[in-house]
Amino acid sequence: MAKGSPVERFMRATGRIRAILGPANRSSLRHEMTEQNKALLVQRQAETQQWETVRRPDGSTYVVPRNPDDKSLR
């Protein structure tokens, strides 16, 4: 019997796990946001505004606070 493609081997190997745990969630990604999700999104966006990314000459990056004295979201 031929081994098959890597994808076929992966699906065959994980088929046993999927038989126990069930299939992956296949819900649509296009749906209305709930009020709780909207509030969480606003909070996460506010958290990201307090940081800025600095790039070094060698190409590496790191994150620093925009205002080191602001402790409101930390």
The verdict on pTM exceeding 0.75 is: no
pLDDT of residue 19: 74
What are the structure tokens assigned to 50, written together?
Answer: 């307090």
- Is pLDDT of 55 > 90? yes
Among residues 71, 66, 22, which one has the least CA distance to residue 48? Answer: 66
Q: What is the pLDDT of residue 73?
A: 54
Q: Specify the higher pLDDT residue, 43 or 3.
A: 43
Tell me what percent of the residues of the chain surpass a pLDDT of 70: 81
Amino acid at 72: S
